[in-house]
Chains A and B, each alone.
Chain A
Amino acid sequence: MENKKELEQITNCALCANMCKYSCPVYLATGNETVTPQKKARLILYKKKAFIEDEKGFFDVMFQCAMGGACKVNCLYDNFDLRDFIQGERSEAFKKGILPDETRKRVETFTRFGNPDGERQLIQKGKGEIGYFVSCSTYNDQQLLKAVEKILARSGEQVQQFGGADICCGAPLYYAGDMEGFKKAAEKMKGEIEQRKLRKVISSCPTCIKMMTEIYDEIGTHLDAEFIHITEFLDHLVKEGKIKVNKANATATFHDPCILANDIGVTTAPRDIIKMLGFEIKEPIYFGKEAHCCGEVPGGRIGDSKLVDKVNAMRINELKETTADVYISACPTCKAALSDIDMKDIAEVVAEQIIDG
């Protein structure tokens, strides 16, 4: 443990009654006590005190976390985020080369191509001081890209789109614990933004926004630009009347992306947009900051693909229960993970309702 305060914090968590476990999607999907926040804290404490012998087993548990922040939202203690400690252990796991297979494969791809998916074309369109960053999750989503293009064209704003090739915020390396690689990715991203002279960057991916703000700051990579999630941009466009929309006559369920709700704190704007589009919102049992994670991608925030499937199946079942006409999210990764229920990104829904002309 780096310092006394950190030791006190992790011990508080380890001695707590697990008051946040009910909110942990990985626990709820598996019923496994070991993956609950308080037990992870006990294991981390024991690792630091050299009580753990099975290092591989310990690191596997550290990768059995969606890193969505439910425990932080429901924590008894101020200024404590168990994810910081899990992240520290992931970093240790990376240094020792003890990674889950799926995670290792993702890191290897990233090392080779500068992104987690493989060879990609550079995207560079338009001009202006505002940038739309095509995240890795957005790159392969042609429907979303077309929707964003349509919205930008009608918005009256000068926005340049960039992304693809080896431009990535570095989140896959961060969650794999490769902090050196992540720092390089962050510096590269800083260069990409500075060379385009961007004062504001919009992204559809909440994780990119979290990385480029909170996490870059933590590792000492400071960017001068403002970063906003596309929901905030869309909310502004619709409320200011910069784009005119038709009113739908249907019901919609919004799946809150965990990073957007828990870390960026955006839960109202997407609902305002959906209501302005004329939808009646049907909330699932767990929504807003209580929403459960989609499971993300195998080897992403969760290292084990079977566990990803369980978290994913649980969330799909929760959403299906609303029997809404349309399912909407605001994260391309959530959209892909929840594709079994024909999920749309909020930008696509806005684009569909735009009044031409």
Chain B
Amino acid sequence: MSVETFMAKRGEVPSKFIEKVKGAVGEENISQSECDLISYSLDYWLYGVFLSQYGKLPSLPSVVISPRNSQEIQSILKYANEYKVGITPFGAGSGVLGGAIPIEGDAVLNLQRMNRFISLDGTSCVAEFEGGIIGANLERELNHRGYSMGSIPQSFYCSTLGGWISTRAVGQFSTKYGKIEDMVLGMEVVLPDGNPLNIKPVPRRSTGPSLKELFLGGEGTLGIVTKAVVSVHPLPERTIKQSFVFDSIEVALEVVRKILRGDAKPAVVRIFDEPETARYFEEIENKVTLIFISEGETDFVELEGKLIKRIAEENGGESFGENPVDIWLEKRFDIGLGPIIMQQGGIVDTIEVVSLFKDAVNLYNDMVSAMRAVEGAISVSGHYSHFYREGACLYITFAGFPKDPSRYYKDSWTAAMEATLKNNGSISHHHGIGFWRKEFMQQELGPYGVELLRRIKFALDQNGILNRGKLI
């Protein structure tokens, strides 16, 4: 094999393990072919993607196993424990922190064969899916039946429900519909020792600490999510799109804060800083743009629309109508520029963090200025999205043409994380930790926090087989 690996050599697994797994999943669902090993070697960790164009990959899996159901996964994990084989779960490979990279050359567990819609309960507003279904396909199944889950991340077309759960993902319409932890009612999980766990779907329970929280953000280190029951909504009857421009991020944040204190729940709320405004909306110059989408029952939506308009205009917002919202809707999945920049030797990536409103302006200013100061930086821009009554997620997009790409990438991340921690923010809002961000976990959780996670991991996975080198 001629590809170069820069993190670990391809691992080896005992032939007896291979034989036993073949017996569980069938010969055609286990592979060590060169093309398969290359295809499951990397997710969408962007520095890895940058290097992949030169034939450099983090590492190659020892083997790729593609089970069809929970029972097969139970067998695989039991064999993995017996033979001490590391297992890296692979959802759809859209994660941007390297969470699905077999960084120690481990076996990859491909979960994409489990991609079916199972059932819809319109009375209870819940639907069940297998974990490997892609978001766009999940939403299509629901829309066809008159419902929506309301989870539309930028990776909508290339990420799975299981991946959303494992990374605590968030969609663009989150301010109304909630984040993945608000949407998941129950799930079927295979624990690291191969035993099944069924968390039944109910709106809430008081049965000790919530076990499902272990897997919402578990990043495949604590179990494999094979099915989930999620909350769904009838398709909206009415949609109102509004936009306003402001002189500063500070004023725009204050407007959103007041709107959410008024109990409004717009589906989409986004504040674009000046560089992002310039990139998205040609007609708006030297301003900050704030867009809203309200949707749902007509009476509620119209009331919410009026509230938004009143508060925005009372605070100096100039209305720009629906057009900026339509432009954003059209461009929101277009990541086409990234590969073009990478081909020219440029580095691109995004970082999402979160803070309370009281720290939000300082966080933006500190993070942007620190990242712009990194040698090689060309562009650092940001938007606030995913709002709460208490605060919001800051999402930074950065690009550079550095002499030393590795150094630039590392320094940009360090600058961003340090600015976040300085301003009392959390180092990740919804992309997760993977392997790339884990060095900041000590500062995020404190030494006892990390130790607690380690003990939880050991309690569930004594042989340390699941997703080694990730999260902690």
Please determine whether chains A and B interact with each other in the same assembly. Answer: yes
Chain A residues engaging chain B, CB cutoff 8 angstroms? 8, 11-23, 27-28, 30-34, 36, 39, 42-43, 45-46, 49-54, 57-58, 60-61, 74, 76-77, 285-286, 290, 306
Chain B residues within 8 Å of A28, by CB: 115, 137
From the candidates B28, B35, B49, B338, name the one contacting A57 in the complex (CB within 8 A): B35
A8 to B53 Cα, complex, angstroms: 11
A14 to B44 Cα, complex, angstroms: 11
Extra 17 A-B pairs, beta carbons < 8 Å, given A19-B157, A22-B158, A54-B33: A11-B343, A14-B339, A16-B336, A16-B339, A17-B335, A18-B158, A19-B333, A32-B113, A34-B35, A42-B52, A52-B34, A53-B34, A54-B34, A54-B35, A57-B35, A76-B336, A285-B141
From the candidates A12, A14, A31, name the one contacting B52 in the complex (CB within 8 A): A14
Q: Is B52 a contact partner of A39 (Cβ separation < 8 A)?
A: no
A-B contact pairs, 7 of them (CB 8 A): A18-B94, A22-B157, A23-B136, A32-B110, A33-B40, A36-B39, A53-B34
Q: Is B35 a contact partner of A43 (Cβ separation < 8 A)?
A: yes
Q: Is A34 a contact partner of B157 (Cβ separation < 8 A)?
A: no
From the candidates A8, A32, A36, A39, name the one contacting B343 in the complex (CB within 8 A): A8
Q: Is B335 a contact partner of A22 (Cβ separation < 8 A)?
A: no
Interface 0/1 of B133-147, CB less than 8 Å to A: 011110011001000
Evaluate whether A33 and B53 lie within 8 angstroms (CB atoms) in the complex, with A12-B340, A285-B144 already known: no
Q: Is B66 a contact partner of A76 (Cβ separation < 8 A)?
A: no
A27 to B141 Cα, complex, angstroms: 17
A153 to B112 Cα, complex, angstroms: 51
Q: Is B3 a contact partner of A12 (Cβ separation < 8 A)?
A: no
Interface 0/1 of B427-457, CB less than 8 Å to A: 0000000000000000000000000000000
Chain A-chain B contacts (Cβ-Cβ < 8 Å), number: 125
What is the distance, in angstroms, from A163's C-beta to the closest C-beta of chain B? 38
From the candidates B55, B134, B342, name the one contacting A15 in the complex (CB within 8 A): B342
Residues of chain B at interface, number, CB under 8 A: 48
A61 to B338 Cα, complex, angstroms: 26
A-facing residues in B116-155 (Cβ within 8 Å): 132, 134-137, 140-141, 144, 155
Chain B residues engaging chain A, CB cutoff 8 angstroms? 1-3, 28, 33-36, 38-40, 44, 49-50, 52-53, 55, 66, 90, 92-94, 110-115, 132, 134-137, 140-141, 144, 155, 157-158, 333-336, 338-340, 342-343
Q: Is A34 a contact partner of B53 (Cβ separation < 8 A)?
A: no
What is the distance, in angstroms, from A13's C-beta to the closest C-beta of chain B? 8
> When A and B form their complex, which 7 residue pairs have the shortest distance between CB atoms, in order from nearest?
A31-B113, A31-B112, A15-B339, A76-B336, A34-B39, A54-B34, A22-B136
Chain B residues within 8 Å of A21, by CB: 92, 134, 157-158
What is the distance, in angstroms, from A72's C-beta to the closest C-beta of chain B? 14
Chain A residues within 8 Å of B55, by CB: 46, 49, 51
Evaluate whether A17 and B158 lie within 8 angstroms (CB atoms) in the complex, with A57-B34, A58-B35 already known: yes
From the candidates A19, A31, A36, A51, name the one contacting B3 in the complex (CB within 8 A): A51
What is the distance, in angstroms, from A36's C-beta to the closest C-beta of chain B? 8
A50 to B134 Cα, complex, angstroms: 32
What is the distance, in angstroms, from B37's C-beta to the closest C-beta of chain A? 9
Q: Is B35 a contact partner of A32 (Cβ separation < 8 A)?
A: no
Residue of B nearest to A21 (CB): B158
Chain A residues within 8 Å of B333, by CB: 19, 76
Chain B residues within 8 Å of A286, by CB: 140
Residue of B nearest to A43 (CB): B35
Residue of A nearest to B115 (CB): A31
Chain A residues within 8 Å of B2, by CB: 50-53
Residue of B nearest to A74 (CB): B157
Chain A residues within 8 Å of B340, by CB: 8, 12
Q: Is B33 a contact partner of A57 (Cβ separation < 8 A)?
A: yes
Residue of B nearest to A75 (CB): B336
Q: Is B36 a contact partner of A34 (Cβ separation < 8 A)?
A: yes
What is the distance, in angstroms, from A201's C-beta to the closest C-beta of chain B? 37
Chain A residues within 8 Å of B140, by CB: 285-286, 290
Evaluate whether A45 and B53 lie within 8 angstroms (CB atoms) in the complex, with A15-B338, A18-B93, A57-B34 already known: yes
Chain A residues within 8 Å of B50, by CB: 15
What is the distance, in angstroms, from A22's C-beta to the closest C-beta of chain B? 4
Residue of B nearest to A78 (CB): B336
Q: Is B1 a contact partner of A17 (Cβ separation < 8 A)?
A: no
Q: Is A12 a contact partner of B34 (Cβ separation < 8 A)?
A: no
Chain A residues within 8 Å of B39, by CB: 33-34, 36, 39, 42-43
Q: Is B53 a contact partner of A14 (Cβ separation < 8 A)?
A: yes
Q: Is A33 a contact partner of B112 (Cβ separation < 8 A)?
A: yes
A19 to B333 Cα, complex, angstroms: 8
Q: Which has the most chain B C-beta neighbours within 10 Å: A31, A286, A290?
A: A31
Chain B residues within 8 Å of A57, by CB: 33-35
Chain A residues within 8 Å of B49, by CB: 15
Chain A residues within 8 Å of B336, by CB: 12, 16, 76-77
From the candidates B38, B113, B134, name the one contacting A46 in the complex (CB within 8 A): B38
What is the distance, in angstroms, from B100's C-beta to the closest C-beta of chain A? 10
Residue of A nearest to B49 (CB): A15
A33 to B254 Cα, complex, angstroms: 45
A253 to B115 Cα, complex, angstroms: 24
A33 to B141 Cα, complex, angstroms: 21
Q: Is A76 a contact partner of B35 (Cβ separation < 8 A)?
A: no
A58 to B34 Cα, complex, angstroms: 8
A314 to B34 Cα, complex, angstroms: 27
Q: Which has the most chain B C-beta neighbours within 10 Å: A20, A23, A50, A285?
A: A285
A301 to B97 Cα, complex, angstroms: 37
Residue of A nearest to B117 (CB): A285
Q: Is A16 a contact partner of B137 (Cβ separation < 8 A)?
A: no
